[in-house]
A = this chain, B = another copy of it.
Amino acid sequence: MPQSRPRIIPEATVARLAVYLRVLAGLADGGRSHVSSGELASAAGVNPAGLRKDLSYLGPCGVRGVGYSVAGLRDRLTDALGGERSRPCVLIGIGRLGSALADYAGFASRGFEFVGLLDTDPAAVGRRVGGLPVRPVAELEAVVAETQATIGVITTPAEVAQSVCDRLVSVGVRSILNFAPVALTVPAGVDVRKVDLSVELQVLAFLDQQRHGTPPLVAPLRAAQGSAR
């Protein structure tokens, strides 16, 4: 009865499992019944050996000589990642980015449902976004209580993100996705994931410069040539 699963799953692996799950969903729609680790890996953009290692955290999932059952693995991954029950989310900060997230179809199809939209701006309150009315952020605690939301998504300006975060934590939200460009401080037991769009572009800019500037990377140390300002 090898039902025990004592080993913990690394977070990097979890993120990849989510990718595999999406690929598998596509394959299932396409009518495929089996996949090999190689094919799945190339579709997910990872190494085949790494993929097998990732899946091994869930116990034996495939059949040697054949591959993985698409539907079977999909269900297994779905369970591992938290089942397919709907997960209620609240979204604070209904600006352009918030609005885009609120009716991003990719979330709903994966079980994430926005059940509360909040904003401070009186002009935004009352508007309907993705079929849901925007409510004043003062009602944050009430909204979380009545919707039993477990995930909070913060798309506010940086200045108020920490205060919004604190209020979310105080009413029991323990999973937070932060788009505001600040490092949030949370007590132990609360998970925060940060998405920083500016940083992504900045990294690309660095890599681009590095490509062009590899030869003349003499560095403007102190002999900075007329670096105005």
Q: Residues on A close to B: CB < 8 A?
A: 3, 5, 9, 11, 14-15, 17-19, 21-22, 43-46, 59, 75, 79-85, 87, 89, 95-97, 99-101, 103-104, 106-107, 110-112, 150-151, 174-177, 181, 183-185, 189, 191, 193, 195-209, 211, 217-221, 227, 229
Contacts and interface: CB of A to CB of B under 8 A. Distances in A.
A192 to B, nearest CB: 9
Contacts of A202: 14-15, 18, 21, 81-82, 110
A199 B83 contact: no
A14 B203 CA distance: 6
A195 B198 contact: no
Contacts of A211: 174, 189
A133 B227 CA distance: 30
A106 B197 CA distance: 9
Nearest to A41: B183
Contacts of A176: 204
A5 B59 CA distance: 47
Contacts of A3: 218-219, 221
Contacts of A196: 18-19
Copy count, this protein chain: 2
Contact of A198 (B99, B107, B197, B200): B107
B112 A104 contact: no
A95 to B, nearest CB: 8
B208 A150 contact: yes
Tell me which of A3, A5, A19 has the highest count of chain B C-beta atoms within 10 A of its own C-beta. A19
A205 B81 contact: yes
Given A193-B204, A208-B174, A59 B14 contact: no
B201 A112 contact: yes
A48 to B, nearest CB: 13
A219 B83 contact: no
A125 to B, nearest CB: 19
A17 B151 CA distance: 29
Going nearest first, the 6 A-B pairs with the smallest beta carbon separation are A45-B183, A82-B205, A18-B202, A96-B100, A175-B204, A100-B100
